[in-house]
Structure formats: C-alpha cells, structure tokens
Amino acid sequence: MSKKYPIISVTGSSGAGTSTVKATFDQIFRREGITAVSIEGDAFHRFNRAEMRAELAKRYAGGDTTFSHFSYEANELPELGRIFHEFGQSGTGRTRHYVHDASEAERFGVPPGEFTAWAPFDAGADLLFYEGLHGAVVNDEVNLAALADLKIGVVPVINLEWTQKIHRDRAARGYSTEAVTDTILRRMHAYVHCICPQFTETDINFQRVPVVDTSNPFVARWIPTPDESLVVIRFKNPRGIDFPYLTSMISGSWMSRANSIVIPGNKQDLAMQLILTPLIERLVSTARKLR
C-alpha cells in the first residue's frame, strides 16, 4: 500500500450491484473534488470473447466443466497486481476496455467481444479505483489485497444474486433461463474458491438481503427492490467507526453485531456516502500532503 497514491478496490461477483456502487463513488469523487483513475476488472480478462469460447470448448473436451471468467486462470491477475504496484509507487499505470456490446463498440471503435489497446493513465490522479471480480485476491501468484488501501465487498445473498443475473442476462444479453443456469453451475466452483474468499480480505462488506421470497430464483418474475431488502454492512475493523452516529443518521437501522449494522435497502447510497466519504477524504488528504 502507498500513502502517496492510494488504491480503492470494489469487489463483487457478476450481478452483485458493483456498477451501482461505482456510481456512488463517482458522486463522492465529484463532490469532494477528487480525481480518480478508474479501471474495470473486465479489462484484465485473459481472452477475448471468441478466444474464451474456444478455451471453454477445449476445457470441456478435456473434462473441465468449472472454467469461467470467475477463475483465476481466466484473468491477467499478475498484470493487475503489477499495475496496482506501479500506481502505488508512482501514480502511473495502464488499462484498456473490454467492449461488451454495439453501443460500446461505437464508443470505442472496437468490435464487441474485443479489447481496446492498452493506454497509460491520465496524469495527476489522486487515487486509483478498481471495480470488478478480483480486487482482493490472495493466492500463490498475487496478493492484491495487500496492495489496495480501501477494499469494499459488494455481494447479495446467493439466491438474490442468481435472480439478478438471470434477469439481466435475459433482458440485456438475450440469453435463455437455461443458458444462464448453465453459466451459474459452471461458475460455482470458482465462486466458492476464487470469489468468496475475497470477502474475508475486504475492509467493509455491503450484503443485500431480500425480505421477500427468493426460494426459486430460476422462476422469479422480478428482482426484489431496495424497499424489499435489507443491507448488512460489516466492518473488518470496527475501531473508530461511530455506530451511534450511523444508526441515528440512517432511519430504521440497527446494530446486529459489534462490527455490523443493518440498514433498509433503500438507504444504501446514504450509508455509503456517510461511511466512505470520511475514509476517502482521509486517504486523499494524506496523499496530497505527501506528494
């Protein structure tokens, strides 16, 4: 970790709501006058779309039915670690974009399923912001958790996560429920071994819990709304967290453990603003003084 060039890492699995969380961070950065370089986990996939299909077919033929984008070996994690390290040392680095669809293809001038060319970060950033699947990985190759200064986990309970993924992939990507189900099954091994362990490394976790029936996510007709959810916020180190202030400011919230607070689902953005703004301000203020 570097005090001169801090790194914030937001980690969550597909459909967990990390994009919404990124919007909250963008609001904080804009309001506080903070310049952030943003990088996406998709940029560090090892294969483009066609290559991934070929790799999947090869592994299936060899009897491996667990390979997915969740897997360590499907991603350039040493490169991500190198960029975290470089930014922490000098405020420099590089990134690229994975182009998902036609609208992004028009924006970036690259066909869907391909990567843009690597490009250096803009100079003068206060911090690096990562959002993706692997921002707090610790394995035999990398220790990304040790390189990030503030690590946030975003994860719904698993039936809600599946419901969100099924609805998103059917609506936005045209997949059938059966096709999404196959993807979920294929990802389960890596979900258990590659995704879940990261939430032990994160400093703060936001976990959305529905309070309506999600017993069978494969036939659910709609995604539970924030008003039909609670969010459990867990602090790895609760020292210095003013829980009485948070519970007084967030209507309907309460402490469930000495390091956890439960809030209404529609208060997540407010809670993130209250909790994260002073932490980010402290990181950036210290960095600016040192630089």
- The beta-strand segments (E) located in the chain are 7-11, 36-40, 94-95, 119-120, 127-132, 150-154, 204-210, 229-235, 254-257, 260-264
Residue 127 pLDDT > 80: yes
Answer for the pair 268, 250: CB distance below 8 angstroms, yes or no: no
State percent of the chain over pLDDT 70. Answer: 97
How many percent of the chain have pLDDT more than 90? 84
Tens of pLDDT, residue by residue over 203-234, are 999 999 999 999 999 998 899 999 999 999 99
pLDDT band at 171 (very low <50, low <70, confident <90, very high): confident
Residue 173 has pLDDT above 90, yes or no: no
Residue 87: both structure tokens together: 């930014």
Report the alpha-carbon distance of residue 41 to residue 13 in Å, rounded.
11
Backbone angles phi, psi at 113, to 5 degrees: 85, 0
SS3 content of the chain, % helix, strand, coil (to 5): 45, 20, 35
3-state secondary structure of 75: strand
* Single pTM value for the model: 0.94
Distances (CA, A) of 97 to 100, 114, 170, 270: 9, 8, 23, 30
pLDDT of residue 177: 84
